[in-house]
Amino acid sequence: MKNLTIIPARCGSKRIPGKNIKFLGSKPLLAYSIEYALNHPDLAGQIMVSTDCDRIAEVASRYPVSIHRRPAALAGDDTPTADVLKHILDNTDLSPEFVTLLQPTNPFRPENLWQEAFTALQTSGKKSLFTVTPIVKKLGKIRDHRFVPFNYRFGQRSQDMEPLYYENGMLYISHASMIREAKIMDDQSLAFIINHIFASVDIDTEEDWLYAEFILKKFNL
């Protein structure tokens, strides 16, 4: 079984300029996902960083990984990640069975997550998996300046609510045939539940970065 791990890291972060190579603790943000992949060689297979940026490529080149230079057309704010992954399969001679996506904005992952998720995917017989986390919050919509409950009734206790789940971005595994169709997941994908504090770290804003620094220090990562 041939696996390919792709870590997409582009230049154009607006909210945190240079985010992917900004130091979080003692190393660039990108390094956390690279090192996680390197620590799981049997699952990672070939590791590739996709980037449009010379500075990111230089940081990635310090590690035993491949670098794929994506075109500017695939480095925009609205570029689907699935298109980035497909471009790699379409423009290289790689022929993996499974492709794992590790987003650099999710720097912390439980050690056993990958193996447990991959085993679950193989057992399920499905073509893809992504990680989700339960969230128990009283959510609603605003209509005519009124709050309309979405997932509970007024007066209902939080502990009696059915949980919702959010896509936490920690890990995606897809059969290569899906990637070649520019899909990472679909309505048949296996939702792998992660109830772990690391799942709440997804860096997009300065507030997210501060929270990641707190987690880094709290868990001595």
Fold classification of 3-218 is Spore Coat Polysaccharide Biosynthesis Protein SpsA; Chain A (3.90.550)
Residue 14 has pLDDT above 90, yes or no: no
Question: In this prediction, what percent of the chain has a pLDDT beyond 90?
Answer: 94
Strands 164-175 and 128-135: antiparallel
- The stretch 180-184 carries a mean pLDDT of 97
The pLDDT assigned to 146 comes to 97
- The stretch 45-68 carries a mean pLDDT of 97
**Residues 79, 212, 201, 209: is their CA dihedral positive or negative?**
negative
- pLDDT tens for each residue of 157-170: 999 999 899 999 99
Residue 1 has pLDDT above 80, yes or no: no
Please name which of 86, 83, 166, 77 lies closest in space to residue 130, comparing C-alpha atoms: 166
d(CA 151, CA 174): 31
- pLDDT tens for each residue of 90-116: 999 999 999 999 999 999 999 999 999
What predicted TM-score, i.e. pTM, was given to this entire model?
0.94
Burial class (CB in 10 A: 0-12, 13-18, 19+), 100: buried
User: Which run of H or E residues covers position 200?
Assistant: none
